[in-house]
Amino acid sequence: MGSVRLDDARRICLLLRDGDPDTYKRAAVRWLGRFALEARGATIEDLRGAADALDVLRDEPAAAMEQLQRICVPRGLGAS
pLDDT digits (tens, 9 = 90+) for 24-71: 999 999 999 999 998 889 999 999 999 999 999 989 999 999 999 999
Poorest-pLDDT segment among 10-14, 19-23, 39-43: 10-14
**Nearest to residue 68, comparing CAs of 10, 15, 8?**
10
Q: What CA–CA distance (Å, rounded) separates 3 from 22?
A: 22
Domain count, the chain: 1
Is there a contact between 12 and 6 (Cβ–Cβ < 8 Å)?
A: no
Residue 36 within any structural domain of the chain: yes
pTM of the predicted model as reported, rounded to 2 decimal places: 0.83
Residue 24 within any structural domain of the chain: yes
Residue 55 within any structural domain of the chain: yes
Residue 62 within any structural domain of the chain: yes
**Nearest to residue 36, comparing CAs of 24, 26, 45, 27?**
45
Domain holding 23, by residue range, is 6-75
Residue 22 within any structural domain of the chain: yes
